[in-house]
Amino acid sequence: NAGVTQTPKFRVLKTGQSMTLLCAQDMNHEYMYWYRQDPGMGLRLIHYSVGEGTTAKGEVPDGYNVSRLKKQNFLLGLESAAPSQTSVYFCASSYIFLAGDSDTQYFGPGTRLTVL
Amino acid sequence: GENVEQHPSTLSVQEGDSAVIKCTYSDSASNYFPWYKQELGKRPQLIIDIRSNVGEKKDQRIAVTLNKTAKHFSLHITETQPEDSAVYFCAASISGYSTLTFGKGTMLLVSP
């Protein structure tokens, strides 16, 4: 049981290049999330998904796209990377997230992305 | 939307002292308040959470208190140890939504 995994762990891009970050979970979780973490800014939600085939925007969605074609995978894409997207990206998942009876979000190990 | 403020941003204590981190939230509809710990270079991990139907919850040296009227909640760590050194994040969720809003984090440094 690997939990939540992310690939790659590190990546360096040039401005304008594209890339896809992969998040996978083997806990049969319905909900998946992508966050970015910048110094002094905490964890900010980029996009999330409440089930296979669904996606929704979070707090900072501009410049990113996501897809959830399979329940266990959640992809984050950068079509044209910018230096402002230099950050550590965390994926998370939870079994179910009911208001008033919420479940734990389990985080992946993170991807450190640098855009030059 | 929800706004979560967290204080202090850094906290230095001596081993054995207590540490308190405070968070305030803006939306009175929020009813779930987890705390995450993130060690250097690692992923955030849940350490304790509280729901709005209780005022306090304890787990060994860690406790969380909630004041719904004032819209603030706090993390209390007693008998701190060097391994408690980490960044701590509070978060809140709004009824009917499926996402968490995080505070900006508190870096706790416990000196031996």
pLDDT of residue A99: 47
CA distance A28 to A41: 30
Beta carbons of A43 and B44 less than 8 Å apart: yes
Using an 8 Å Cβ cutoff, are A9 and A88 in contact? no
Grade residue B89 by pLDDT with cuts at 50, 70 and 90: very high
Beta carbons of A99 and B104 less than 8 Å apart: no
Who wins on pLDDT, B96 or A24?
Answer: A24
Using an 8 Å Cβ cutoff, are A66 and A76 in contact? yes
pLDDT of residue A40: 84
| Contact residues for B2 (Cβ-Cβ < 8 A; gap 6+) | B25, B26, B27, B30, B92, B93, B94, B101
pLDDT of residue A97: 57
Flag whether residue A74 sits within 8 Å of chain B, measured between CB atoms: no
Q: Above 60 in pLDDT, residue B36?
A: yes
pLDDT of residue B68: 92
Closest residue in A to B96 (Cα–Cα): A99
Beta carbons of A100 and B49 less than 8 Å apart: no
Mean pLDDT score across all residues of chain A: 92
**A37-66: average pLDDT:** 94
Beta carbons of A107 and B34 less than 8 Å apart: no
Place of tokens 């031996």: B112
Residues of B in contact with A100 (CB under 8 A): 31-32, 51-52, 95
Residues of B in contact with A43 (CB under 8 A): 44, 89, 102
Of all residues in chain B, what percent carry a pLDDT higher than 90? 80
pLDDT of residue B97: 63
Instruction: Tell how many helices (H) and how many strands (E) occur in chain B.
Output: 0, 11
